[in-house]
Structure 1
């Protein structure tokens, strides 16, 4: 029994030595003696040179070091931008949501809302969509709707903001894409003979959106689907609406548009 108690002592000594060894191997914090301004300058240099993985922890240190100052708020926004550029949309969202909650009266709130919209906008569009000719309407719409809401809040609360004109243009694009998404799905159903489903999705586009390019094709899909189902009265009514709204429509003469460029190519 006495020997068992003695054996505990070297074990404890070994554990303590291991802890001390681990502490001695902890990397030294090179920013420990830096001023907040120096941390910010170093973080900006990393950000501007594309070193997002190095910029983010520096901005995080600055948030703590300069807590309660405008510089800490700036660090938070810069961190969100670095996370966005590093393709970490989830972290960028979390950072921006935290900023908006903590600083509702910040003079940079308009930028925070704009950046939140941009994060969703680019996440939804995809970096290489212009190579694959895949436009926003062919992707999941959740991010597009969240992007629209951020831009809408920006233009409503800050109509004179320097970011508002671009936000308005992107809102127009998003509305067009959401309508086109409904048409994209309607076209899919129609091509597979699911005419009732095609009608439902095309009607969504016609009912929920106005003055967008996609409505021309939505009406055409409605007309063709009614025709396929033998619903001649609705077919003829839809055709009259098309003829009045789009008198030069190529859908009425050719069945398709002759151009191969997508509607969103202007962006």
Structure 2
């Protein structure tokens, strides 16, 4: 196969770059293999301080493998959790967190592990592109949000005095509103297809599971309209009564 002369320098440059990266990686492995535990840890901390969390994670992982029971082992695992998290490596972060919790259930920093588990699942549910362009993302699968909510709840239940508890509570409020918004999206989907029983059930689900969310008014309005369409007068009147009592300024009432 002939290579266009115009592209030849680019291809050669790419090959040299890849070769350089491969050589650099091997050199890094050799350096790490000849360092002691403290020197490796200092190297990882320097990478973290410089914001190079991917390099820090590689070094910490090597350190964790070579010295799994050393005096630095717990701190290495905690730093590895954070480095994986900052590198957006969700699976590795969660696996490292779960291992730390399983092996160190009574460690003084186990609350941090639970907190990071919630953060990781919460971050996995975010879609930066959609947020930047203003696209509504409430109708996406909320499974990671539900898991994050459970992680934060577990943290608060087991460690109510944790320094991470207050932030976890605030995040739970945000997640609760997110999950309620998801239910509203599904309810409106059902309404567009005239599946009014399913829509009303979604509204009732919000009242039962997210009564302090910011979607209760919409849930009640959906219930009123759905019951009205189904000619279920008593249920419709009860939903309207609750709506008037709690949201008297609702445009839906008029």
Deviations 1:149-169 (A, max 9, x none): 211121122222211110111
- Superposed CA RMSD in Å reads 2.2
Tell me the distance in 2 between the aligned counterparts of 1:28 and 1:78. Answer: 20
- Larger CA Rg, structure 1 vs 2: 1
What's the counterpart of residue 218 of structure 2? Answer: 217
Structure 1, unmatched stretches of 5+, are 1-24, 254-267
Q: What is the CA–CA distance in structure 2 between the aligned matches of 1:228 and 1:70, rounded to whole Å?
A: 68
Identify the residue that residue 64 of structure 1 maps to in structure 2: 65
Instruction: After TM superposition, give the deviation of residue 198 of structure 1 in Å.
Output: 0.9
* Residue 75 of structure 1: aligned partner: 76
Could you tell me which residue of structure 2 aligns to residue 49 of structure 1? 50
Structure 2: distance between partners of 1:28 and 1:226: 67
Q: TM-score, normalised by structure 2?
A: 0.82
Runs of 4+ residues deviating >4 angstroms: 25-28
Match of 1:9 in 2: none
CA deviations on 1:157-184 (whole Å, 9 max, x unpaired) are 2222211110111111112222222112
| Separation of aligned partners in 2, 1:135 and 1:153 | 29
1:31 aligned counterpart, secondary structure: helix
SS at match of 1:251: coil
SS in 2 for 1:211: coil
User: Do the aligned residues in 2 keep the contact of 1:198 with 1:221 (CA within 8 Å)?
Assistant: yes
By how many angstroms is 1:192 displaced? 2.7
Unaligned runs of 5+ in 2: 1-25
- Distance, in Å, in 1 between the alignment partners of 2:103 and 2:185 is 40
Q: Give the Cα–Cα distance (whole angstroms) in 1 for the partners of residues 240 and 134 of structure 2.
A: 30
Where does residue 151 of structure 2 map in the other structure? 150
Shift in Å at residue 34 of structure 1? 2.1
Aligned length: 229
Change (3 A) 1:139 1:49: farther
Which residue pairs with 1:197 in the alignment? Answer: 198
8 Å contact from structure 1 (residues 136, 177) kept in 2: no
Conserved 8 A contact 1:151-1:168: yes
Query: Are residue 237 (structure 1) and residue 250 (structure 2) matched?
Result: no
2:40 aligns with 39
